[in-house]
Amino acid sequence: MSIKNKSIAAVLAFCAIGFQSVSAAMVDFTDNGNNVNLGSSFTEVNSDGVTIKVSAFSFAGTSNTPTASNTQNSIIEAFGNFGIGIGGGGNPQHTADNDGRNEIFLIEFSQNVIVNWASITEWGNNSGSTSGGDSDVDYWGGAGSFNFNNIGSRFNNNVNVITLGNGQQRTVNFSNGLGGVNWLLFGPDSNSGGPRDYIKLRKIDYDVAPVPLPAAVWLMGSALLGLAGFKRKIPGITS
């Protein structure tokens, strides 16, 4: 291999160092058992090495946004293939809902990710006092240290009230500004003025965001390419 080609190969090698390609992964909350009280938070380490911490909160009233002053810890409960809900009393049927208080999950990732979609279970369409409910959701996402006083823009994903029945699943696609985040707030529609919303959270699909090249790598690459050009001017050295 010529000196020039060796230099270019070295640059490519340096470009590979410290650079992580986008890789797909999914965290599954349907394997936490039936009627299991998981406390106010729990942590899972995914197969890709990303640590995911899930916390539960509730906040007062409807037509509100969670803030540090109106939010309190709640309890996460698991119910097998239906996913995790928020509530108390050891009731596995309890969903995350906006029936009286708004309930919301905080999902924190140990590194930046691109959040693609979530799988949820609807649980309020045709049963007793919750009849007529559906599974509209709100979500927020951001990077850096999470703070309830700085959650940014609210997005929502709604369905028609008659779309689903109890126990049916649907996918929530995160198409609004959720690339390169390390936390996600996710729960029933907090600004609901109509039917109440009842959901369980089953899965979240995400891509690990690429890690930018350090500046030193680019400088080294530029230097190697410069040397590759400079050596051609030295008498007695050929490619």
Closest CA to 106 of 135, 80, 140, 133: 140
Please name the amino acid found at residue 27.
Answer: V
Q: Which residues contact 211 (CB under 8 A, 6 or more apart)?
A: 18, 19, 20
pLDDT at position 230: 46
Which one has a higher pLDDT value, 62 or 156?
Answer: 156
Distance CA 198, CA 132 (A): 10
Contact (CB, 8 A) for 37 and 79: no
pTM score above 0.75: yes
pLDDT at position 236: 56
pLDDT at position 77: 93
User: CA 170 from chain center: how many Å?
Assistant: 17
pLDDT digits (tens, 9 = 90+) for 180-238: 999 999 999 988 777 788 999 999 999 997 766 565 544 554 554 454 454 445 455 55
Closest CA to 75 of 104, 38, 44, 102: 38
pLDDT at position 102: 92
Q: In the predicted model, what is the mean pLDDT of residues 150-175?
A: 86
Query: How many secondary structure helices (H) and strands (E) does the chain include?
Result: 2, 14
Q: In the predicted model, what is the mean pLDDT of residues 42-62?
A: 92
User: CA 155 from chain center: how many Å?
Assistant: 14
pLDDT digits (tens, 9 = 90+) for 28-40: 999 998 888 999 9
DSSP summary character for residue 229: H
pLDDT digits (tens, 9 = 90+) for 92-130: 778 999 888 899 999 999 999 999 999 999 877 665 556
pLDDT digits (tens, 9 = 90+) for 64-89: 889 999 999 999 999 999 999 998 76
Find the helix or strand (DSSP H, E) in which 182 lies. strand 181-188
Which one has a higher pLDDT value, 42 or 94?
Answer: 42
**3 state SS of 233:** helix
Rg of the chain taking only CA atoms, in angstroms: 24
Q: In DSSP terms, which residues pair with 80 in a beta bridge?
A: none
Whether pLDDT at 239 is above 60: no
pLDDT digits (tens, 9 = 90+) for 130-146: 666 788 999 999 999 99
